[in-house]
Amino acid sequence: MSLHFSDEDDLLEFFRTSTEGKYLLILKWGAAWCGPCKEIQPMFDKLARENKHDRLKFVSVDIQDMEDVVEDFRVSALPTFHLVWFSAGGKQHIEHVFTGADKRKLSNMVQIGVKFVKKKK
């Protein structure tokens, strides 16, 4: 199951609890009005169900009213996907990024994430 955030404070708190490499996050940045975002969401949720790992989290973010976070992650198109982890102090490390509702790229990103968390045990 993927996590969903539409409140910036809740998202930032989640990021704070994800520090020090505890989790690898697959972030999907989208919006309720974005057709391609809605189109890819079922696959994102399916991949989340199929790739359960205690250190891999799938997170959907509705960018409405999240200007600061969107700017920090340099989201300029929707949907945008990030494979990211946080080190001590909340520094973000983006391992992979792509834009668009490309199912093949999303599957590839998930496989990269699964290999990453298995390697970091």
Q: Which residues pair with 60 in a beta bridge?
A: 4, 28
Q: Of residues 37, 48, 63, 66, which has the active-site annotation?
A: 37
| CB-neighbour burial class of residue 91 (10 A; exposed 0-12, middle 13-18, buried 19+) | exposed
Catalytic residue among 26, 27, 34, 63: 34
Note if 15 is an active site residue.
Answer: no
Measured CA to CA in angstroms, residue 32 lies from 16, 36, 38, 65 at distances of 25, 10, 7, 12
Which two tokens mark 118?
């298995």
| The pair of three-digit structure tokens given for residue 24, joined into one six-digit string | 């690898």
- Establish whether 34 is a catalytic residue: yes
Please tell me the number of Cα atoms within 13 Å of 61 on its side-chain side: 28
Q: So which residues are the catalytic ones?
A: 34, 37
